[in-house]
Structure 1
Amino acid sequence: MIQVALDRLTKEECISITEQTYDHIDYIEIGTGVIKEYGMDIIRDFRKRFPDKKIVADMKTCDAGKHETRQALEAGSDITTVMGLSHDQTILDSIQVAEELYKNVLVDLLEVPVERFARLKELGVELVSAHIGKDTQDHSEGNSFEHYGSLSDDFTVFVAGGISPKSVQQSEKLKPDVFIVGGYITNASNPGEASRTMKEVISKR
């Protein structure tokens, strides 16, 4: 499945790209930067515009788990993100709120040591994002999924960070369920065609 990551874009650009890629994507991610710019209103707007798609609010919550999780989910997102390096209580509180609302939390593993993965499982985490950060994607030491090892036995795995048709195989060891695709689609001259290409590549794995 494909999650289009809408970030560092205007609201109008987010809407246009989603409309162009609609037939080839499964999840719509409202990126952290977009949320900071437009707040919860853009989540509410997307919920109305695209009622048939799963919406992910990339809140990157690292504290105030109850409040921020409720804030994002009640605005209309189906999933909100919480940083895996957060305190255990923040993660527990976020999961509790999500369960009350029959929705989900996606835990971002950015810079999370492998030793913490087992603890995240104990806390009840089900969805994780194996994430190569934007600032490290262009550096050789930070552009590999190898350090994540195997996650699929314990979690539903999303992968993020420079995902393109050429990089799909690099994450194969993780057996990802969802590919989070940002720039390859959002920077394309034809986002619809780019999303179609990604769909084809993923389906042929």
Structure 2
Amino acid sequence: MTLLKDSVDIVEAGTILCLNEGLGAVKALREQCPDKIIVADWKVADAGETLAQQAFGAGANWMTIICAAPLATVEKGHAMAQNCGGEIQIELFGNWTLDDARDWHRIGVRQAIYHRGRDAQASGQQWGEADLARMKALSDIGLELSITGGITPADLPLFKEIRVKAFIAGRALAGAANPAQVAGDFHAQIDSIWGGKRA
């Protein structure tokens, strides 16, 4: 984190980190990065209000809820996020529909995360026209997307027609010989495509 905190806009307390370290992971990142957006990537499926209260109380700005969660869980999590000045991101994994997305937007959620999962990437799955069409449809509903799944700076032009909120680039940064340079390459691409707008 020390190498990158001045080079990124958003810091994620990832699912695996939080499963191993608990709520302390969010608190530690907030202490290390007081001026950054912190994401509690918990993929909440139930107890939306309680977990949102814990996440935002620990210093998160955004918390993830898995797309399979009941709408009531999303509503309760979103209401608590609003009370705490935070936001909910819907984590799009597995089965979901555009009707689901319309429901999330209707209750006030404005962010979603579009994935190419670790396993899909490892098996060679690439970003395709079907992905881009679904992202465009989500954008048209009014959701801003964080895009993840082995993203590199060279991939960013693929998403120029999408309402992008952020790129989640953990693997590209963690595996780089010079992570700050890779972060700079991301920023340069974002600036050239979207005019320097930041989350």
Structure 2: which amino acid aligns with 1:105? I
The structure 2 residue matched to 1:137, chosen from 121, 124, 135, is: 121
Alignment of 1:43-82 (within 5 A): 43-82=26-65
**Aligned-pair CA distance for 1:58:** 0.3
Q: Which runs of 5 or more structure 2 residues have no equivalent in the other structure?
A: 194-199
Distance 2:25 2:154 in 1: 32
Structure 2: which amino acid aligns with 1:188? A
Q: Which runs of 5 or more structure 1 residues have no equivalent in the other structure?
A: 1-17
Secondary structure of the 1:177 match is: strand
What's the TM-score once normalised by structure 2's chain length?
0.87
Q: Report what 2:156 is aligned to.
A: 168
Alignment of 1:98-109 (within 5 A): 98-109=81-92
* RCO comparison, higher one (Cα < 8 Å, 6+): 1
Structure 1: which amino acid aligns with 2:113? S
Q: Report what 2:132 is aligned to.
A: 146
Q: Report what 1:114 is aligned to.
A: 98
Contact 2:87 2:109 in 1 (8 A): no
Contact 1:136 1:143 in 2 (8 A): no
Contact 1:69 1:80 in 2 (8 A): yes
Give the direction of change, closer, same or farther, for the CA distance of 1:198–1:33 in structure 2 (3 Å limit): same
Secondary structure of the 1:22 match is: coil
Contact 1:59 1:81 in 2 (8 A): yes
Pairwise CA RMSD: 1.7
**Aligned-pair CA distance for 1:34:** 0.2
Structure 2: which amino acid aligns with 1:172? K
Do residues 20 (structure 1) and 7 (structure 2) align? no
Give the direction of change, closer, same or farther, for the CA distance of 1:117–1:142 in structure 2 (3 Å limit): farther
